[in-house]
Amino acid sequence: MKREKRNIVEDVIVLQDVYKVYSVEAQPVEALQGINLSVKNGQIIAVIGKSGAGKSTLLHIVGTIDRPSQGRVWLNGTDVSTLNDYTTSVFRNSTIGFVFQMKNLFNEFTALENVMMPGLIAGIPRSAVKERAAQVLHSVGLSHRERHRPAELSGGEQQRVTIARALLMAPPVLLADEPTGNLDRKTSLSIQDLLLELCESYTTTMLLVTHDLDLAQRLPHQIIMEDGMIIDRGNL
Ligand SMILES: Nc1ncnc2c1ncn2[C@@H]1O[C@H](COP(=O)(O)OP(=O)(O)OP(=O)(O)O)[C@@H](O)[C@H]1O
Ligand SMILES: [Mg+2]
């Protein structure tokens, strides 16, 4: 599957002085405290750090699922604060693929239909979407499971469907939060290989949150978060 003709800027993800403060019973929780980050097209970065460090919050903000309390975010050259709710969702659907933990597939749809979803939302004709979805499912090794519903798939297969769905639109940005967290070692390794291979072949920029230090070491870059800040960015 080829990425649609569109310009990909050099710095695909840019965060400038990003803060996120949640308020729980009038108590502020400073989940992000001044994040500055610039990620170039095609870079693959592991985000590591203790529980509560702000890793998922960072992914939600980069993914336009949540908005910063302060600071600016540019994705592929677009200042996302200039988008309204509707244009944000259209932009998100074509720009970002999400691979979060399992259980976010639609149970009533087949694997193929789940993978087709972002294409249908984008208004691409059904037959073209179906063809693309079949190709992407093939690339994750699941052609023989197209008609299975999520409950009729193993955990690793469900995760591969999620990856296929995330890649359907060939988004410039892939965000993965513990993508192999619930899987056995062997399945986990094969899904890691698959993600890395697909990122390379589609030149996808990826932020991948993990507690698995072996996985983090396999990625070209690592950033370490603590208390809502990036405390180490290695060779980035
Ligand atoms: N919706 C929310 N409302 C209030 N506080 C929140 C919310 N989401 C996260 N937090 C708080 O923000 C901080 C960062 O949370 P976050 O989920 O980003 O951590 P994390 O690094 O992903 O941790 P983990 O490794 O456990 O997934 C935590 O202290 C958490 O309690
Ligand atoms: Mg988290």
Q: Which amino acid is at 45?
A: I
Task: Please report which ligand is nearest the Cα atom of 53.
Answer: 1
Give yes or no for residue 55 CB within 6 A of ligand 1: yes
DSSP symbols for 132-192: HHHHHHHHTT-GGGTT--GGGS-HHHHHHHHHHHHHTT--SEEEEESTTTTS-HHHHHHHH
Closest by CA to 142, choosing from 130, 129, 156, 128, is 156
Which strand ranges, in their side-by-side order, compose the sheet holding 27-40? 27-40, 11-24, 70-75, 78-79
Of 76, 93, 73, 97, whose CA–CA distance to 85 is shortest?
A: 93
Per the DSSP assignment, residues forming a β-bridge with 48 are 224
Q: Could you tell me if the CB of 29 is within 6 A of ligand 1?
A: yes
Structure tokens at 9: 């800027």
- pLDDT computed for residue 100 by the predictor: 87
- Nearest one of 16, 43, 4 to 207, comparing CA atoms: 43
Cα–Cα distance for residue pair 184/97, rounded to 1 Å: 24
Q: Which pLDDT belongs to residue 45?
A: 97
Site of tokens 């244009």: 87
**Candidate of 23, 29, 225 to mutate for ligand 1, largest count of ligand atoms within 8 Å of Cβ:** 29
Give the model's pLDDT for residue 87.
Answer: 95
Which residue lies with its CA nearest to atom 2 of ligand 1?
Answer: 22
Instruction: Give Cα separations from 65 to 72, 95, 192 (angstroms).
Output: 14, 13, 24
Q: Is the CB of 60 under 6 A from ligand 1?
A: no
pLDDT tens track, the chain, 236 positions: 455 556 788 999 999 999 999 998 889 999 999 999 999 999 999 999 999 999 999 999 999 999 999 999 999 999 999 999 999 999 999 899 999 875 689 999 999 999 999 999 999 999 999 999 999 999 889 999 999 999 999 988 998 999 999 989 989 999 999 988 878 888 888 888 888 988 998 889 999 999 999 999 999 999 999 999 999 999 88
**Is 53 close to ligand 1, i.e. is its CB under 6 Å away?**
yes
For the chain, the C-alpha Rg in angstroms (whole number) is 17
Identify the residue whose tokens are 């955990």. 155
Which residue CA neighbors atom 8 of ligand 1 most closely? 57
Q: Identify the DSSP state of 4.
A: P
Domains and CATH numbers, the chain: 11-232 (3.40.50.300)
